[in-house]
Chain A
Amino acid sequence: MNVFDIIGPIMVGPSSSHTAGAVRIGKIARAVSGGQPAVVTIELYGSFAQTYKGHGTDKAIIAGLLGMAPDDERIKDSLELARELGMTFKFRKSQNKEVHPNTALISAVDQTGKKTIVQGSSVGGGRIVVNRINEINVKFNGEYYTLLIPHTDTPGVIAAVTNLLADQGINIAELNMYRSHRGGEAMMVIETDQAVKGEQISLIEAVKTVKKAVLIEPIY
């Protein structure tokens, strides 16, 4: 904790959890889907579902999907902005007792028809936790540079990827592996202290059984 956690952040109101946190969840979904999606469906759970209109949670998530930061004064006009930019979106209230009370599940389809699912929860003070990417349950908070690497669960993949990062002098803050089942679909989530550059991402994508590598910039 430092002084700017107490006097700060600078943000658009009214609520750090329901507005600032919601912008960040949208921003992560934009990064994971590789840019501005064309069609978005957003399911809201718990308190998000109950109070989203009054807190502007809907505007906040769309603002994040448009790439805005939590202090952007255009957040309150984001729905109109999104329409002007040709993005179609739909909000649905959903129920699921298993998830945190401030949770949004974003399904984003891009111009080519590729669908990306991101689920995140706003856990207080504008901080978030991403807990699902597509069909895989994950856990990261967007504080660091975050590399998402979907791959097939095979021996040696982690070693190959981390060796590539080590060669580039990139320090790993945290590394987690999630898989659907042994030998099945898997996701590596690597949080790093330094930015991973484009050419390094191509090298990682060339590793056997790695499907893709997506870099998410820190959102705080």
Chain B
Amino acid sequence: MISYDSIQELADKAKKKGKMISELVLEDQALQMERSREELMEEMRKSLQVMAEAATKGLTAVSKSASGLSGGDANKMRQSVNAGQTLSGKVLSETLAKALAIAEVNACMGRIVAAPTAGSCGIIPAVLLTLKEENDLSENQVVMSLFTAAGLGMVIAKKASISGAEGGCQAECGSAAAMAAAAAVELMGGTPQMCANACAIALKSVLGLVCDPVAGLVEVPCVKRNASGAANALIAAEMALAGIESTIPVDEVIGAMKAIGDAMPKSLKETAEGGLADTPTGKKIARDILR
């Protein structure tokens, strides 16, 4: 059985057994949940399908959320990508479009998969679905990579937090980016140690990021932070695949994230009292909506 106390331990165990992290996590979860591997694969496949449906739906949507604060940006991004007007290349811009799409579907009361939360639901699917399309990967490979994402997410949830109210946005979009980065590395043939490095690099880039939703709604800045979270995951995966290591080991980065989350004032942890929520425009929007 795996205790999910350390990502380094997971990576070391995988290396020793000559397996991928996803394989290790799947075997362990089948044991712990007393269910067959096939059953767990099927359940995860269902989640992947919901993720793909949400991406497709969001990419062509023009409707707005109940508050009117979000909706339609993914469509703009997609049109720009289709027109070949991309500054940073197809993979990145496709990823951004999907991340916005899924986060907008969430804001508009559509069906999504919390990964690890509803507020950060666009990051993991945007990265993995784009890599699948661009590299002709099989559905099974992507389903497996979700077990790597989940395994690492369990360590983060246990040793730090995946809740904005507890640890700020670093705990939501940061965790999602770290999980996506590791899953991407595994999908592209990287080693377990590279997965651990990708996770660390992604998290390090967003340490201290606060959760400051305008009017308390999962929309501003959450939708766009899903896009930047997905970009962060790709950047970290790219570096890790090149053999770049994290100077601070991944478990220590998670420890730092926990300490920073604890030190963060309550006003910056999903209470809508600080940060962007407390700007003149943020406050005006809140007044208008709550009126």
- Which residues of A have CB within 8 Å of B255? none
A54-B154 Cα distance, complex, nearest whole Å? 30
- Which residues of B have CB within 8 Å of A3? 25, 29, 40, 44, 146-147, 150-151, 154
Check B116 against A7 for contact (C-beta < 8 Å). Answer: yes
Contact segment of B93-101, B118-126, B131-139, B239-247: B118-126
Check B154 against A12 for contact (C-beta < 8 Å). Answer: no
**A159 beta carbon closer than 8 Å to chain B:** no
- Which residues of A have CB within 8 Å of B289? 53-54
Check A7 against B109 for contact (C-beta < 8 Å). Answer: no
Partner of A14, one of B157, B165, B219, B290: B219
Q: Which residue of B lies closest to A1 (CB)?
A: B154
- Which residues of A have CB within 8 Å of B29? 2-3
Residue count of chain A within 8 Å CB distance of chain B:
33
Check A13 against B66 for contact (C-beta < 8 Å). Answer: no
Chain A 13-42, CB-CB to B under 8 Å as 1, else 0, gives 111100110000000000000000000000
**A124 beta carbon closer than 8 Å to chain B:** yes
Contact segment of A68-76, A83-91, A132-140: A68-76
Check A11 against B47 for contact (C-beta < 8 Å). Answer: no
- Which residues of A have CB within 8 Å of B69? 54
Chain A 33-76, CB-CB to B under 8 Å as 1, else 0, gives 00000000000000100110111100100000000000101011
Within 8 A of A (CB), among B66-96: 66-67, 69
Partner of A10, one of B47, B66, B117, B217: B47
Check B46 against A10 for contact (C-beta < 8 Å). Answer: yes
Check A124 against B107 for contact (C-beta < 8 Å). Answer: no
Chain B 216-231, CB-CB to A under 8 Å as 1, else 0, gives 1111000000000000
Q: How close is B264's CB to chain A, nearest CB, in angstroms? A: 17
Q: How close is B73's CB to chain A, nearest CB, in angstroms? A: 15
- Which residues of A have CB within 8 Å of B121? 13
- Which residues of A have CB within 8 Å of B153? 6-7
A73-B50 Cα distance, complex, nearest whole Å? 12
Check A7 against B110 for contact (C-beta < 8 Å). Answer: no
Check A2 against B33 for contact (C-beta < 8 Å). Answer: yes
Check B218 against A50 for contact (C-beta < 8 Å). Answer: no
A10-B165 Cα distance, complex, nearest whole Å? 21
**B158 beta carbon closer than 8 Å to chain A:** yes
Check B110 against A13 for contact (C-beta < 8 Å). Answer: yes
Check B118 against A11 for contact (C-beta < 8 Å). Answer: yes
Among A13, A16, A47, A75, the most chain B Cβ lie within 10 Å of the Cβ of A13
Q: How close is A170's CB to chain B, nearest CB, in angstroms? A: 20
- Which residues of B have CB within 8 Å of A6? 115-116, 149-150, 153-154, 157, 162, 179
Among A1, A50, A54, the most chain B Cβ lie within 10 Å of the Cβ of A54
Q: How close is A66's CB to chain B, nearest CB, in angstroms? A: 15
A7-B151 Cα distance, complex, nearest whole Å? 10
**B205 beta carbon closer than 8 Å to chain A:** no
- Which residues of A have CB within 8 Å of B25? 3
A11-B50 Cα distance, complex, nearest whole Å? 10
**B105 beta carbon closer than 8 Å to chain A:** yes
Within 8 A of A (CB), among B129-175: 146-147, 149-151, 153-154, 157-158, 162-163, 165
- Which residues of A have CB within 8 Å of B162? 6
Check A1 against B151 for contact (C-beta < 8 Å). Answer: no
Q: How close is B189's CB to chain A, nearest CB, in angstroms? A: 22
- Which residues of A have CB within 8 Å of B157? 1, 5-6
**B112 beta carbon closer than 8 Å to chain A:** yes
- Which residues of A have CB within 8 Å of B40? 3
Q: How close is A213's CB to chain B, nearest CB, in angstroms? A: 31
Beyond A9-B114, A125-B163, 18 additional pairs, beta carbon < 8 A: A2-B32, A2-B154, A3-B146, A3-B147, A6-B150, A6-B154, A7-B146, A7-B153, A11-B113, A13-B107, A13-B108, A14-B106, A51-B215, A51-B216, A54-B215, A75-B109, A124-B165, A125-B117
Subset of 21 A-B contacts with CB under 8 Å? A1-B157, A2-B29, A3-B151, A4-B44, A6-B179, A8-B47, A8-B113, A10-B113, A12-B109, A12-B111, A13-B108, A13-B109, A14-B118, A50-B290, A53-B66, A54-B69, A54-B215, A54-B216, A55-B216, A56-B66, A73-B110
**What residues of chain B have their CB less than 8 Å away from a CB belonging to chain A?**
4, 25, 29, 32-33, 40, 43-44, 46-47, 50, 65-67, 69, 105-119, 121, 124, 146-147, 149-151, 153-154, 157-158, 162-163, 165, 179, 215-219, 289-290
